[in-house]
Amino acid sequence: MKFQAPKGTHDILPGESERWEWLEARARDILSRYGYREVRTPMFEATDLFVRSVGESTDIVRKELYTFEDKGGRSLTLRPEGTAPLVRAFLEHTLAHGQPISRLCYLGPMFRYERPQAGRFRQFWQIGAELIGPGGPAADAEMIDLFVAIIRGVGLRDVTVLLNSLGDATCRPVYEERIRDYFGTRAEALCGDCRERLKTNPLRILDCKVPSCQPILEGAPSPLDSLCEPCREHFAGVQDGLRALAIPATVVPRLVRGLDYYTRTVFEVHAASLGAQNAVGGGGRYDRLVKDFGGPETPAIGFSIGMERLLLSAGSEAGGAWTPDVCVVVREESAAFTALELARTLRGLTDGGAVGGGLRVVVDVAGRSAGAQMKWASKLGARYAVFHPQDSDGYPVRDMTAGKDEAKQGTVEELSRWLLTRREAS
Ligand code: HAM
């Protein structure tokens, strides 16, 4: 019987995994420079956590959750997103520590039962950041600035920031009433899902992707026309902030995003290379979620970036390939074990401590001929071959790029340092 990875999932294989590691390192570095600290939450949570935050009438909750009952009869769900788990952890561990600002981030797989297609998976990875506490537009501007810094940090240039405001508890109901009226008079022409949304959550209609609904959506009232004065000012402040940071943003009044917890600012970033349907990432303000989860009134804003999409749009030049610095070529069968010891010393790991920046050293443990090992070394792209056991005049070393042989006398530690210096110089 042959097994395959489940539909909508993908393996990240050597060759590809170096690009992932590179991307993760870049993102972590930028997040830490902005003051964000990582939280790792479980892959699954109580189902209710997502129903209550993402929203009962969203596609994510209605159609895409991986929900199961555990042996204790609890309903659990593989996390479809990272914000609700992070806010849960934030409250559970009182991470605010009495401070008005918490900058938290996460990186890991999410699960949604979606129809797989290019850039759309059932298990996908997100990089996310959440700024909990401040409600003013400077926080929104920092968030978008950070988003763009990560995108630029991986070499993406051709991106568009889309921006909208959905209002707050004062003006959102006014807007919802307006679109309920608007869509109510056009209900016949809407798809079945949208007719349902009209009753449960009219804002979700604006997110409908069914082609026959599109002409009706085009003419729908804009949420920006219903904003109350404080929301209008807030939105103007966000745009001022982005101008000050020289981040161009396009206001798109139909941008509502697929999660219900948003208030005021929502945004998405699109890359030209991904096509119109696929955002590299998105986010927004969720000023009510902390309170909804039983915490104090605490505004917050965040975003998530899809890592598969980020890598897709970053192109193949992102990240370096893995190559060994040294292949130890075992010249005699009886030297197999001492070759392992030599390799360990060359790696700089003799004292049991892992000192950073040591050599990458591989050894043939398959007992192949020296010739076969040399072919293998060049196939791997090794910089040097070190022959073992050594000759009377030292360790024979071949510079695989220059095709030059020389013998190195002295201790293995000295040989290791010499190879390291050569690596750094190249
Ligand atoms: P989201 O828009 O649902 O937002 O997802 C953010 C990003 O995750 C998307 O733009 C996309 O890049 C990626 N993504 C989503 N679904 C898939 C999929 N099926 N396959 C591949 N990539 C996917 C959120 O998840 C919010 N938690 C963002 C947020 C954080 N809002 C506030 N804080």
pLDDT (average), residues 212-229: 95
Nearest 10 degrees: Cα torsion 233, 237, 240, 241: -170
Q: Evaluate: CB of 83 within 6 angstroms of ligand 1.
A: yes
Q: How many CB atoms lie within 10 A of CB 288?
A: 18
What pLDDT sits at residue 313?
A: 87
| Three-state secondary structure readout of 236-305 | HHHHHHHHHCCCCEEECCCCCCCCCCCEEEEEEEEEHHHCCCCEEEEEEECCCHHHHCCCCCCCEEEEEE
Q: Above 80 in pLDDT, residue 236?
A: yes
Determine the atom of ligand 1 nearest the C-alpha atom of 281.
10
**Domain positions in the chain:** 17-171+227-314, 326-420
Per-residue pLDDT for 354 more than 90?
no
CA distances from 387 to 192, 334, 336, 395, 407 (A): 72, 14, 12, 6, 10
Cα–Cα distance between 411 and 401 in angstroms, integer? 24
The pLDDT score that the predictor gives to residue 138 is 98
306 CA distance to ligand 1 middle (Å): 6
Alpha-carbon distance values, 308 to 20, 25, 124, 160, 180 (Å): 9, 15, 7, 18, 37
Which pLDDT value is given to residue 426? 79
Question: Within a 13 Å sphere around the CA of 100, how many CA atoms are in the beta-carbon half?
Answer: 4
Q: How distant, in Å, are the alpha carbons of 151, 337, 415, 416, 417 from that of 348?
A: 36, 17, 11, 7, 9
Query: Which residues are bridge partners to 84 per DSSP?
Result: none
Q: Does 279 sit in the ligand 1 pocket, CB within 6 Å?
A: yes
Q: Residues 50-89: pLDDT tens digits?
A: 999 999 989 999 999 999 999 999 999 999 999 999 999 9
Residue 273 confidence class, pLDDT cut points 50, 70, 90: confident
Q: Which of 215, 222, 90 is nearest to 164 (CA)?
A: 222
In this structure, the residue with its CA closest to atom 13 of ligand 1 is 306
For residue 281, how far is its CA from the centre of ligand 1 (angstroms)? 6
Dist CA 95 CA 89 (whole Å): 8
Q: Which of 358, 366, 416 is nearest to 386 (CA)?
A: 416
pLDDT of residue 166 exceeding 70, the answer is yes
Tally: H helices and E strands in the chain: 14, 16
Distance between CA atoms of residues 96 and 399, nearest Å: 55
pLDDT at 361: 97
Residues 6+ apart with CB under 8 A from 98: none
What's the CATH code, domain 326-420?
3.40.50.800
Q: Which atom of ligand 1 is nearest to the CA of 280?
A: 12
In the structure, what pLDDT confidence band is assigned to residue 391 with cuts at 50, 70 and 90? very high
Contacts of residue 227, Cβ cutoff 8 Å, sequence gap at least 6:
165, 167, 171, 235
C-alpha neighbours within 13 Å on the C-beta side of residue 120: 13
* Ligand 1 mean position, distance from CA 380 (Å): 37
CA of 111 to the centre of ligand 1 (A): 10
pLDDT of residue 7: 98
Q: Do domains 17-171+227-314 and 326-420 have the same CATH topology?
A: no
**Average pLDDT of the segment spanning 184-210:** 91
| CB atoms near residue 380 (< 10 Å) | 15
**Residue 322 confidence class, pLDDT cut points 50, 70, 90:** confident
Residue 283 Cα to ligand 1 midpoint, Å, equals: 8
In terms of average pLDDT, the best of 26-40, 184-198, 344-358 is 26-40
Q: Which two tokens mark 224?
A: 């920006």
Across 75-94, b (16+ Cβ under 10 Å) vs e yields ebbbbbbbbbbbbbbbbeee
Q: What is the pLDDT of residue 84?
A: 98
Residues β-bridged to residue 78: 44, 66
> How many C-beta neighbours within 10 Å does residue 14 have?
8
Sorting pLDDT into bands at 50, 70 and 90, what band is 424?
confident
Look up tokens 């599109």; give the residue: 214
According to CATH, the topology of domain 17-171+227-314 is BirA Bifunctional Protein; domain 2 (3.30.930)
Nearest 10 degrees: Cα torsion 16, 19, 20, 23: -170
* Cα(213)–Cα(194) distance, integer angstroms: 8
pLDDT digits (tens, 9 = 90+) for 112-160: 999 999 899 999 999 999 999 999 999 999 999 999 999 999 988 888 9
Backbone angles phi, psi at 295, to 5 degrees: -95, 180
Q: Whose CA is nearest to atom 3 of ligand 1?
A: 258
Taking only the tens place, the pLDDT of each residue in 334-343 is: 999 999 999 9
**How confident is the model at residue 395, as a pLDDT?**
96
Given a contact cutoff of 8 angstroms between Cβ atoms, the answer to whether 235 and 172 are in contact is no
Q: Residue 51: its pLDDT value, please?
A: 98
* pLDDT single digits (tens) 285-318: 999 999 999 999 999 999 999 999 999 888 666 7
